[in-house]
A and B are shown apart, each in its own frame.
Chain A
Amino acid sequence: MLAYSLRRLLVAIPTILLLIVACFFLMHFAPGGPFTSERPLPPAVLANIEARYGLDQPLWKQLWDYLYNIVVHFDFGPSFKFKDRDVNDIIAQGFPISLTYGSLSFLVATSVGVGLGIAAAIKHNSWIDYFAVGLGIAAQALPNFIMGPILILTFTLWLGWLPGGGWNGGQWPYLIMPVIALATSYMGSIARITRSSMLEVLNSNFIRTARAKGLPTRTVIWRHALKPTLLPVVSYLGPVFVYVLTGSVFVDIYFSTGGLGQAYVGSALSRDYAVLLGVTILYGALTVVVNLLTDLAYAWFDPKIRY
């Protein structure tokens, strides 16, 4: 187990480094920078600006500095658009917000989805089952950017119960709609995965044996069926994390929560490559780490896997 963890870690680190290098080159060869405007700058001014951001250095030197600063100082460099803030400031400001509602919707989706899936499988072919399956399929067709307008239409414009956006220090009325909008779609996926996995487990021989020796249904389900049921769900948590990351981009824009997504799209539109790169690398690295954790959790969860 330890050897396996170390080996996976050894793969994850070069992955992150390669990610940084690839993104760096993508940015460098992009036509048109943040300093190209309709009114061309005098060459002397442009040279000064480029010197200020280190863009006059040879390419390998720039790459080395960029890598060195990220790895050693965890510093993503200055923003090209905002004179007084660097990329770290922007991340430090937006990331805690994205993290708050992101982890909340992660929790909501996983618990509701797993609960719904288990209920549907236990009461197979009952109205609970049909309800859960219908809800699961409908939820998958309602991704965050569809749920957002529907929620605002219902709860802000018609009922007037919830504020239509903003953050306000993360008070709960401001949290409800972003969390639901983000959670719905993959809540549906988790419910469907849990249901089909539970059905398969309930039909297997060891469950029949457990029933045959007279265990009460509750014990059969919680003691014997739950763990193998959750295996595919655990392996799905990595993709779920990616959904939350990209979904947060939408939530930040639509609900004006002020998270990292707003900075991301803003920088994409204004070609502020430094911010764009910094956020992409941060999210990519987080994804690698979460995938690593998921794999480790999976190895711990599944007694059949030996490494």
Chain B
Amino acid sequence: MLGKSQKAAHLAESVTDYTVIQGRSLWQDARMRFVRNKAAMASVFVLSLIVLFTIIGPYFAVWDNEEIDWNVIGDVRGMGMPSLETGHFFGVDDLGRDLYSRVIQATTTSLLVGLIGAATALIVGTCYGIAAGYIGGRVDSVMMRFVDILLAIPATLIIILLLVVAGRSFFMLFLALGAVGWLTMSRIVRGQTLTLKNREFIEAARAAGVSEFTIMYRHILPNLLGVVIVYASLLVPEMILTESFISFLGLGISEPYTSLGRLIAEGAGTMAYGTLWQLMFPLTFYVAIIISMFFIGDGLRDALDPKDR
């Protein structure tokens, strides 16, 4: 019989103690690289502040975003300035509505548009790309030719056309943005799937009798995730840009809802009368969001795709 020797127990412990020799996983590695990236971390901080502001900000608002302040409407330039006394922290817009509340509402809209648009594109594009790449053959070429044709039309024109034809609403806007966003995503995913599907571990899974769907879901999808996340993070600012562009033209969300592009358009329309705050507040929020999104996207790419530096 083997007695409980202290030495043997210690030995067994250090053999089974995986933490001593545990390597860093791909994701831990990526997180470390991301955290070390100063620009990206600063951007995350700025963006969190903005998100926090859209959540907490409404509790401090004195005026509603649809309410018209009849006291200042006659003299917006003189009395509609940003001030703490009147409760219009960011001033009022041309129609005497509180810009503080409107900026919060617009920022929320723009962030939602970016997130939901990118999420739609991510889900649809990934499913489509995996299906095309994994099935391959004639199905693949038909599916990809379809994408090529859609990609040939300028995306903004498609969105405008869809919004005009189906009517302007939140739902339609998200749908239209998602409808053009997934195209490039599906191409990227398909390319990755093509290189993955002939690798040995897929062959091993197939030899072990794993079903095709499970292979796609469990073996191909996780290996795509890095590329997909990077591209999606770059898609968010693009979606916000596109939506703002369309709103600027007056073809986006309709009143009383507003988005940053619409507010910038209104501010730009009235800046000749000396009411500069109407342009500057939405513009500051807009530029802060876009630049921090760009830096976060770049940081993610550096972190998740180390060879592309």
Contact = CB atoms under 8 A, between A and B. Distances in A.
B67 to A, nearest CB: 26
A245 interface: yes
Contact of B241 (A29, A143, A280): A143
B161 A145 contact: no
B161 A276 contact: yes
Contacts of A246: 154-157, 245
Given A145-B244, A269-B250, A284 B153 contact: yes
Interface string A193-229: 0000000000000000000000000000000000000
A129 B159 CA distance: 37
Contacts of A271: 164
A138 B287 CA distance: 9
Contacts of B90: none
A269 B276 CA distance: 28
Contact of A245 (B154, B167, B291): B154
A149 B279 contact: yes
A152 B270 CA distance: 12
B249 A143 contact: no
Contacts of B9: none
A145 B261 contact: yes
Interface stretch (A18-26, A78-86, A89-97, A299-307): A18-26
Nearest to A185: B241
Given A26-B162, A145-B261, 7 more contacts: A19-B149, A26-B161, A141-B291, A143-B245, A149-B264, A149-B279, A276-B164
Interface in B218-253: 241, 244-245, 248-251
B264 A145 contact: yes
Nearest to B167: A31
Nearest to A288: B152
Contacts of B165: 26-27, 29-30
Q: What DSSP secondary structure best describes chain A's contact surface?
A: helix
Contact of A242 (B154, B166, B249, B294): B154
Contact of A283 (B157, B162, B244): B157
A88 interface: no
B172 interface: no
Contacts of A149: 264, 267-268, 271, 279
A153 interface: yes
A157 interface: yes
A18 B149 CA distance: 8
Contacts of A31: 167
A87 to B, nearest CB: 15
A149 B244 CA distance: 14
B29 interface: no
- Closest 6 CB pairs between A and B? A149-B268, A30-B165, A246-B156, A141-B290, A284-B153, A145-B248
Contacts of B283: 146
Interface size bracket, A side: 35 or more
18 contacts: A19-B152, A26-B161, A26-B162, A137-B294, A143-B245, A145-B244, A145-B264, A149-B267, A152-B271, A153-B271, A153-B276, A245-B154, A249-B156, A268-B164, A269-B251, A280-B161, A284-B154, A287-B153
Interface in A259-307: 264-265, 268-269, 271, 276, 280, 283-284, 287-288, 291
A269 B271 CA distance: 25
Interface size bracket, B side: 35 or more
Contact of A141 (B167, B279, B294): B294
Contacts of B167: 31
Given A145-B264, A157-B272, A268-B251, A15 B164 contact: no
A249 B152 contact: no
B152 A146 contact: no
A280 B267 CA distance: 29
Given A250-B249, A265-B251, A284 B152 contact: yes
A156 B82 CA distance: 25
Nearest to B309: A196
Contact of A23 (B161, B244, B272): B161
Contacts of B268: 148-149, 152, 254
Contacts of B157: 245-246, 280, 283-284
B149 A15 contact: yes
A138 B288 CA distance: 10
A234 interface: no
B286 interface: yes
B131 interface: no
B75 interface: no
Contact of B160 (A19, A27, A268, A291): A268
A62 interface: no
A276 B164 CA distance: 10
Nearest to A19: B153
A242 B249 CA distance: 17
B257 to A, nearest CB: 18
Contacts of A242: 154-155
Contacts of B264: 145-146, 149
